[in-house]
Copies of this chain bind each other. A is one copy, B any other.
């Protein structure tokens, strides 16, 4: 029997923790008199909070008696069993037969949550929102992390361990501490002199020693000082040499079930660095980067979700991330204000379903997706294509586009959002939306090929109305990735865009993800492995212990740390850089679901440039181990439904039995 779960108004848990985390960003600025201050930096989008009243109810018939024990974190609450009200702490015995349990409560701060020990009536998703609530009829919110009556859903379940610097040295009249790699948590400084003092932090030595321009710092006072949680690798305490530093490292203890090894040590190290980058950014939801914003961004999360499916494969963090991004009604802006991020958010639910098989969540989030469309559709142009609206941030990537008009890449993401929505509609049995979304998808995909394809350039252009016929990689990559154009055009894109050095190179790991995913899909594995070496590998050779937000190999020294006009504003630990884990798992180990939740799946190993590979891909119900050296291939799987594909031959994988194929 499963344990009960704490339950709440759907989304409350995520709205609450999202509110807290999005209000924690600090930045350091220099003010009059040279005083450096750490000030709060608030998001440029609306930050929501949970509602404080909730009614959740369940009706069921039981065929054996059970005893309910009622817990709640509320200020006031009733458990109403068959019309009779009980207070928190009550135990109620139910006889066989039909019963109705209604949980009502109010909590002024935080959010109300309930827990009932019982059998059929134990709290879980099967409770339904009742009363006059806007979300009446929807399932209760829950988290796999909160299953014990002693849990407090308002305290996020991080783990902690004490850490000490790996080195300490006197420099510039002060003390520089190095923790060996980027870390996050509360810093304790001891043996200070009691003076108010600015403490500089850095992801790089240069940043930490640049007291005037470092991005994050602390205004310490007293003889000893404990900071709020911050991210850094280096701490520089000016003017003092006898000071001590330690850290309460704060992290989410996700188990990395996925693994990858090959005969290229740089790639192996890269995998570990990517996994560590993920660890630091896997928290209440998936963060973009751990130093600067520590916010949840839908485009970043879209990719981090994929990495997760090949690393920890934790469904709860994906669900949380999706709900954090959704926010609360009314929807008045795009997610993170970015239109492409809204479209990717919609699409992300499909990939979650494909990798988890969690149709419950699709059903739970479906009405929230339709509400998102109710925001999007009135803002489309007369043809139903994306049109830039005031307040829309058209992002796509940190690159230069012909972006004043309606961009090709946005239309493709809109098409993708419709394509996925049609599948959700099928799943929940909404035939009207299935038809509508399919039609819109087909229409937009066709129109994009009609208008944005430039025959002369042999490529999709950013904007066909501006007359500039500007070609960037981005829309062309989407066309391959989402299979939105003909094979003939794909060939031309590869020649005219991907392998064309005149087309501006991708500088963010963000878009490298899409580029490499697209190239792997069409079998250009070497393009990927080359990029692992020349792009990610180059970061490692420059000393990266986590993956950077952006990387331009043509830059030098501390130029690498500059971004957004700040000398060290770039994040050197950015989750969107962890895609090699996904790419190697999906395309080298070759493991991917062929139906939702790995009910069926394929293992199609590709040696690429490696002499041998081995690793594990986690699935919702067990791991798949693969090793391959070009001759011998071994697969051991904990789940049914798999097929090994080697040189066009297929071998069924039997759960729990080692499958060995010698080519």
* Chain A residues within CB distance 8 Å of chain B: 19-20, 23, 29, 31-32, 37, 39-40, 42-49, 51-53, 55, 75-78, 84-85, 87, 104, 106, 108-110, 131-134, 329-330, 332-333, 337, 391
Contacts of A332 in B (CB 8 A): 134
Q: Please tell me if the beta carbons of A31 and B108 are within 8 angstroms of each other in the complex.
A: no
Measured in the bound complex, the distance between the Cα atoms of B46 and A53 in whole Å is 8
Does B333 contact A330, Cβ atoms closer than 8 Å?
no
Give A40 to B55 CA distance when docked, in angstroms: 13
How many whole Å from A565's CB to the nearest CB in chain B?
Answer: 14
The listed residue (B39, B84, B333) touching A132 by CB distance below 8 A is B333
**Chain B residues with Cβ under 8 A from A330's Cβ?**
134, 329-330
Query: In the complex, A329→B328 CA distance in Å?
Result: 10
Interface pair A44/B85, CB less than 8 Å apart: no
A-B pairs, 3 with minimum CB distance: A109-B109, A330-B330, A23-B106
Number of copies of this protein chain within its complex: 2
Contact between chains at A20 and B132 (CB < 8 Å): no
- Report whether over half of chain A's contact residues are helix, strand or loop; otherwise say mixed: loop
Contact A37 B132 (CB under 8 A): no
Residues of B near A52 (CB, < 8 A) are: 19, 23, 47, 49
Closest to A19 in B: B52
A39 CA to B78 CA, complexed, in Å: 7
What are 14 A-B residue pairs whose CB atoms fall within 8 Å in the complex?
Answer: A19-B52, A19-B108, A23-B75, A23-B106, A29-B85, A31-B84, A39-B85, A42-B104, A47-B51, A47-B53, A109-B109, A134-B330, A134-B332, A329-B330
Q: Which of A44, A104, A332 has the most CB of B within 10 A?
A: A332
Q: Give the Cβ gap from A658 to chain B, nearest Cβ, in Å.
A: 54
Given known A-B contacts A19-B52, A330-B134, A77 and B40 have beta carbons under 8 A apart: yes
Q: Which residue of B lies closest to A37 (CB)?
A: B85
Residues of B within 8 A of A110 (CB): 109
Instruction: Kindly provide the distance from the CB of A610 to the nearest chain B CB, expressed in whole angstroms.
Output: 47
CB <8 Å contact, B42 and A106: yes
Q: Which residue of B lies closest to A77 (CB)?
A: B40
- Report A154 CB to chain B, min CB distance, Å: 10
**Distance (Å) between the CB of A434 and the closest chain B CB?**
25
Q: B131 contacts A40, CB within 8 Å?
A: no
A270 nearest CB across to chain B (Å): 37
Query: Least Cβ distance of A73 to chain B in Å?
Result: 14
Instruction: Enumerate chain B residues within 8 angstroms of A85, measured Cβ to Cβ.
Output: 29, 31, 37, 39
